[in-house]
Amino acid sequence: MNSTISRRGFLKQSSCAAISSVSILNTLLNLRLSQGIANASVPAAGEYRALVCLFLAGGNDSFNMLVPRETSAYAQYTTARADLALPPEELIAINPIGQPGYYVHGGMPEVASLFENGHASFVANVGTLIEPVANRTQVAQNLKRLPLGLYSHSDQIEQWQTSVPHARSGIGWGGKMADILRDTNSSQVVPMQISLDGSNVWQTGNDVAEYSITPSGAVALSGYNAAWQQYQDLQNAMSSAVDSQLAQQYNNLLSQTFNQRKKQALDAYQVFAAASAPALPAGITFPNTYIGNRLAMIARTIQGRNALGAVRQTFFVQRGGWDHHDEVLTTQGAMLPEVSAAIGAFHAAMVAMGLQDQVCLFTGSDFGRTLTSNGRGSDHAWGGNQLVVGGGVQGRRIFGQYPSLLTNPESGPEVNPLDTGRGRFIPTTSCDTFFAELALWLGVSRNQLPLILPNFHYFHSITGTEAPLGMLV
């Protein structure tokens, strides 16, 4: 059942703050109707693509999510991780094409299966960078520009969602994509960017912002009937009063604009509710978990894409709780299975719809975590490992460079130039490289990448033709 607010409460409120917690406010204040930065070419008839961002807020300890299996590399892992190392019997072996063997966390059997069947890949040691950084000397001696607030949750979450590590920004790279691509959708009633976790930076553009929904769907006004309902005299009367208010013309510009946005919000609700109402294909079930319920709603929204007039969409889910300074093994052992089971169900739903190559899910997180233990868990670090599923992914591969897991001693000779201390690894793949691959796949042209990723040119040629990572086709 959809969440509601009372119509009486709505009519009594004259300020936007009174309805700030529901999706109607996102439409009232954030649905901006000015022209985008540039128009993209119209997709071929029937073509559809969507990106799903699953953000693991808090900093996922991803070196226990993806573990090297080769004998010497695994020995480095166990030496560095000490009490945080997982034994082989608590891991699942995977076999990347043309690379040494790896393990995934034992709580991720669905992800392991997707990987082995060619539907998923990992991006290794990816993180925020302004420009390439080769070694810890460049960090220690300030020879390279480094991201602001490098180990800060708030700064790094912002930078993962903006790809602007050199300055504070409230405009996300997903929102900038929407500025460019939104006119490829035949209807703008419901924006192309849909969030299951409220307002976020990633989907906020210069001219657009997210449409926020819940796992149950869009949020409506309590008791409002868009059409006359038999035997519902009170509701019909109240609905008529709302419609009358929305039909008014106001001399005050602010009042008139607010009234127009209210109408747009109700229109968006009606369209979205109808489009997302049909049940998913028979046999598709999602786990009743935080992530599972959100990915189920995304699947229903994608199923209703034609009714929404959408050929390009982005979706945002944020699952918090990954800041494991203590009890990392126990807590992650409970949380990674939730991620894996929900992703497995989501991919099965896309297969049932025939869209497994047209919908790409990727993970992000604030940062990686220290390879070494603090005695109870791990601390804030830099580069980490991320997952990509579906979307024509070149599966069974580890993209980027998985780092040596040797850690430098506190004193003495350097053994790993990427270790800035305690296994805080300098990223070998920049967020710009990772995000550019996703943006190009969604339909952004290469010459538009600087509008989205201002530091892309430090890592790749704007005029070149090579794929940033080669992970999507």
From first to last of the 473 residues of the chain, give the pLDDT tens digit. Answer: 344 334 333 333 333 333 333 343 333 333 332 333 344 444 565 689 999 999 999 999 999 999 999 999 999 999 999 999 999 999 999 999 999 999 999 999 999 999 999 999 999 999 999 999 999 999 999 999 999 999 999 999 999 999 999 999 999 999 999 999 999 999 999 999 999 999 999 999 999 989 999 999 987 644 445 555 555 545 554 445 444 544 555 555 544 444 455 566 788 988 999 999 999 999 999 999 999 999 999 999 999 999 999 999 999 999 999 999 999 999 999 999 999 999 999 999 999 999 999 999 999 999 999 999 999 999 999 999 999 999 889 999 999 999 999 999 988 889 999 999 999 999 999 999 999 999 999 999 999 999 999 999 999 999 999 999 999 98
In a domain, residue 29? The reply is yes
Q: 298: exposed, middle or buried (C-beta count within 10 Å: 0-12, 13-18, 19+)?
A: buried
In a domain, residue 265? The reply is no
Which residues 6+ apart lie within 8 Å of 189 measured at CB? 264, 267, 268, 271, 308, 309
Token pair, residue 350, equals 């896309």
In a domain, residue 230? The reply is no
In a domain, residue 466? The reply is no
In a domain, residue 320? The reply is yes
Domain count, the chain: 1
Q: Report the amino acid identity of residue 100.
A: P
**Side-chain half-sphere CA neighbours of 434 within 13 A:** 36
Domain that holds residue 189: 20-221+278-458
The CATH number linked to 124 is 3.40.720
Report H helices in 304-327: 305-308
Per the CB < 8 A criterion, the answer to whether 202 and 159 are in contact is no
Tell me the CA distances in angstroms from 57 to 4, 435, 465, one per residue in order: 28, 18, 34
Token pair, residue 195, equals 């969030």
Q: Report the amino acid identity of residue 262.
A: K
DSSP at 282 = T
What's this model's pTM, rounded to 2 decimal places? 0.85
Q: Report the amino acid identity of residue 287.
A: P
In a domain, residue 305? The reply is yes
In a domain, residue 2? The reply is no
In a domain, residue 283? The reply is yes
Q: Report the amino acid identity of residue 378.
A: S
